[in-house]
Structure 1
Amino acid sequence: MTLIKSISGIRGTIGGEPGNNLTPLDAVKFAASYGSWLKDYSKKEKLKVVIGRDARLSGEMIQSLVVSTLVGQGIDVIDLGLSTTPTVEIAVPMEKADGGIILTASHNPKQWNALKLLNEKGEFLNAEQGAKILEIAEEEGFEFAEVDDLGRITNNDSYIDIHIDEVLNLDLVDADTIRKVGFKVVVDGVNSTGGIAIPKLLEELGVEVVKLYCDPTGHFPHNPEPLKEHLGDISSKVIEEGADFGIVVDPDVDRLAFIDNIGEMFGEEYTLVACADYVLGKTKGNTVSNLSSSRALRDITEKHGGTYEAAAVGEVNVVTKMKKNKAIIGGEGNGGIIYPASHYGRDALVGTALFLMLMAEKGGTVAELRASYPSYFMGKKKIQLTPDLDVDGLLKAMAQKYAKEEISTIDGVKIDFAENWVHLRKSNTEPIIRIYTEAKSQEEADRLGDRIISEIKEIAGF
């Protein structure tokens, strides 16, 4: 069982001992830490926080604990109930709230849950803010409100509909254009809130929806991470139904993957590529993704006359660089679309609408669309090191070894070769170097990873 305390929130498995898992005591402690930080950060007399959750089994329990804790601190709560991560993100500024909490462990299995923490813009906290909350949690110097000063709870279950309206009102989304095509789409909502939000959006866009695992019971029918090995059912369903494509989201609906018309994965990395292709074709501009995302985004961006830049891994880092570079679309290669015209957060609803617009205007099949993009293949490996080895020193040595290549050291070491790349990142919890590679064939990507492992071992002397 596990409890992971990080600058982006608190994540853990339900049950077990406090301090080692996400128990009720831990949920209360970290909710109180966030509330205490928010009071100091905002300097306001009266605060308001938006809270929503995915459909996982522990969600209602954790939500009750978190809401009651904030109310006990004198903070008003807007309770969205079942919601999505991007829905909570857009609700925070709409409600003129001071922050938000999303109760979701994203793609983790059902025994996990988490508190994801937002600022007054509905964006994830930065590293300094997250570290301060962890510090408050360790000190446990909480102060609660007297009875006349308790916060109030307002229930508002309309925000998924509001979110859908916001998507439909985007300048680059035209429902009539999509409606005229008459798409038929299978949706796998992994029995969480994507099963509510995505079908509703599609129906508003005139799409015929075939629902698969769209009952928000929290009983995930398969591993909820939208990877090929977990998606056999929807692949078969797309073929069986003669659908144009399939849509898969994770439990909190910030990651988006497609199944093409012949039941094959479109590729999580290519979700962002396709959405960027559409947006850049309408509006000139720049893009950002993280260092471990596909080079295909760079290729598509340059094809449209824009500039691509890579950020350190982590959504908050991507958002920071997007703002700095005025990027008009960005995200992460795990199927996370960030479209600033909507908001600065990964959003599967926005991604779905942009992808439908691309397909409506381009015509043809989803398989044909995928074949039209530069084809890259990724490899993921790791190397176990002994605890006494200087991992930072090894990464520095690799950067020096390839100093003549294009090097980034903002997050580990990324080495860009002419035809491929490798990204080396150290684990924060164990002596491991994670090795991500990309090349024009799977064999080449795997060979590059094996070569880099051999070179690290040679430098390390084993």
Structure 2
Amino acid sequence: MTLIKSISGIRGTIGGEVGENLTPIDAVKFASAYGVWLKQQRNKENYRVVVGRDARISGEMIQNLVMNTLVGLGIHVIDVGLSTTPTVEVAVPLEHADGGIILTASHNPKQWNALKLLNAKGEFLNGEEGAKILEIAESGSMSFSDVDSLGRISKNEAYIDIHIDEVLNLKLVNKQAIEAADFKVVVDGVNSTGGIAIPLLLDRLGVEAVKLYCEPTGHFPHNPEPLKEHLTDLSEAVVKERADFGIVVDPDVDRLAFMDEEGEMFGEEYTLVACADYVLSKTPGNTVSNMSSTRALRDITEKHGGTYEASAVGEVNVVELMKKNNAVIGGEGNGGIIYPESHYGRDALVGVALFLSLLAEKQMKVSELRASYPSYFMSKKKIELTPGLDVDAILKQMEAKYAHETLTTIDGVKIDFANSWVHLRKSNTEPIIRVYTEAPTQKEADELADKIIAEINSIS
């Protein structure tokens, strides 16, 4: 069992020993540290934090612990209940709140949960802010409010609807064309809050939604990471229903993947490529994705006359570079769309609306759309970490071994070959080394990944 403390929050498995897992005591400890940090930011009388959660089995328990800890610090809580990560991000500025907390472990299996921490803009904390919260948590120096100064909890469960309104009001969302296209779509909500939000959005856009695993029970029917090998039921349903395509999201709805009309994956890497193609065709400009994302975004951006740049992995790093470069769209190759006209956070609802607009205007099948883009294939593998394994030393040795190639070391080691690349990095969210490769064919991508993994195993 595991507890991972990082700048983006605290993530761990439920149960077990304190300090080694996400136990109730750990949840209170880190919620307290966040609340103390928040109060240090501004000297004011009233502090407000938006709190929401995905449908994980442990979600209600962790949310109650977190909310009442904030109450004990004299902080008022807006409880948005079952929600999505982007919905909470949208709610924070609308509520004029000082921050937000989302209880979700994103794509991790059901035994995991996490506290994702937001600032007053509804954006993830930067490294310095996250480090300060970890420092407060470890110091234990926290002072709570007296009985006359406790915070209070107020409920507002309308925010998914409010979020949908915000999406529909975006200038580039072509509601008229989408409705006229008469789409039929299968939605895999992995029995979490995407099963609530995505069908509601589709209904507002005049799209027929066939629901698959859309009951927010928290009992994930398959591995919740939206990868091809986990989505056989969606593939079969798309073909059986003769749907135009399939949609799948992760439990907190910040990752988005599509399946074409033949039940084949569009490719989660190409979610951002397609949405960027649409946005850039209307509003030319620059793009950003992280180092582990497909080269196809660079190709599409340059086709539209813009400039592409790559950031270190992590949403906060992508957002920072997007702001610096005035990017009109960006995100991550895991299906995360960041569209500044909405907000600076990965948002599957925004992604669905932009993709539908593109498809409706082009009047082509999803398979035809995918075939129109530069073709790259990616392999995403991992190496489980064992105690005592020196990851930094391994990465240094790989860096030395490939010193004659083009290297980037701002986040692990990325080795760029003429027609392919490999990115090696220690995960922020799991005890693994991620091994991402991309090449002109799937076979070449897989073989490159296997070759690199064998080399790492021989070192370790």
TM-score interval (norm. to shorter): over 0.9
Distance 1:102 1:443 in 2: 39
Unaligned runs of 5+ in 1: none
Please name the residue that 1:285 is paired with: 285
Residues 11-410 of structure 1 aligned to structure 2 (within 5 Å) = 11-381=11-381, 387=389, 390-398=393-401, 400-402=403-405, 405=406, 407-410=407-410
SS across alignment from 1:86: helix
How far has the Cα of 1:379 moved from its partner?
Answer: 2.4
Residue 15 of structure 1, CA deviation: 1.4
Q: What whole-Å deviation, never above 9, does each CA across 1:131-150 have from its counterpart, x for those lacking one?
A: 11111111111111011111
Tell whether the 8 Å contact from 1:172 to 1:354 is kept in structure 2 after alignment.
yes
Please, what TM-score do these two structures have when normalized by structure 1?
0.94
Assess if the C-alpha contact under 8 Å between 1:391 and 1:431 holds in 2: no
**Residue type of the alignment partner of 2:356:** L
8 Å Cα contact 1:260-1:366 kept in structure 2 = yes
Structure 1: which amino acid aligns with 2:319?
V
- Aligned residue for 2:403, secondary structure, equals helix
Q: Is the 8 A contact 2:379 2:449 kept in 1?
A: yes
Kept after mapping to 2: 8 A contact 1:377/1:440: yes
How far 1:23 moved relative to its partner? 1.1
Quote how far apart the aligned CAs of 1:371 are: 1.1
1:175 Cα deviation from its structure 2 partner:
1.2
How much does 1:13 deviate? Answer: 1.2
Residue type matched to 1:89 in 2? E
Q: What do residues 69-94 of structure 1 show as CA deviations (whole Å, max 9, x unaligned)?
A: 00010001111011100000010011
* Structure 1 residues 256-289: Cα deviation after superposition (integer angstroms, max 9, x where no partner): 0111101111111010011001001111101111
Instruction: Indicate the SS of the match to 1:113.
Output: strand
One-letter amino acid of the counterpart of residue 97, structure 1: A
Distance 1:252 1:343 in 2: 16
Query: Identity over the aligned pairs, expressed in percent?
Result: 75
- Write the deviation string for residues 38-95 of structure 1: whole angstroms up to 9, x where unpaired: 1112333321000001111111111111110000100011110111000000100111
Determine if contact 1:9/1:116 at 8 Å carries over to the other structure: yes
Q: Equivalent residue for 2:440?
A: 440
Residues 340-397 of structure 1 show CA distances to partners (whole Å, capped at 9, x for unaligned) of 0000000000000000000000011101111111111112456789846833531441
Q: How far apart are residue 450 of structure 1 and its match?
A: 4.7
Q: Is the 8 A contact 2:4 2:430 kept in 1?
A: no
**Does the residue aligned with 2:10 lie in a helix, a strand or coil?**
strand
| Other structure's SS at 1:100 match | strand
Which range moves more in the overlay, 15-24 or 242-251? 15-24
| Rounded Cα–Cα distance in structure 2 between residues aligned with 1:276 and 1:92 | 26
| 8 Å CA contact 2:11, 2:429 repeated in 1 | no
Change (3 A) 1:305 1:79: same
CA distance in 2, matches of 1:390, 1:8: 24
Count, aligned residues:
457
Residue 248 of structure 2 aligns to which amino acid in structure 1? Answer: V
Distance 1:258 1:112, change over 3 A: same
SS at 1:109's partner residue?
coil
What is the distance in 2 between the residues matched to 1:72 and 1:272?
42
**Counterparts of 1:364 and 1:381 in 2: how far apart (Å)?**
33
| 1:178-231 per-position Cα deviation (integer Å, ceiling 9, x unaligned) | 101100011111111111100000000000111111111111111111111111
Structure 1 counterpart SS, 2:63:
helix
How big is the shift at 1:417?
2.7
Rounded to whole Å, the distance in 2 between the matches of 1:191 and 1:429 is 22
Q: CA RMSD in A?
A: 2.1
Counterpart residue identity of residue 34, structure 1 = Y
Corresponding residue SS for 2:215: coil
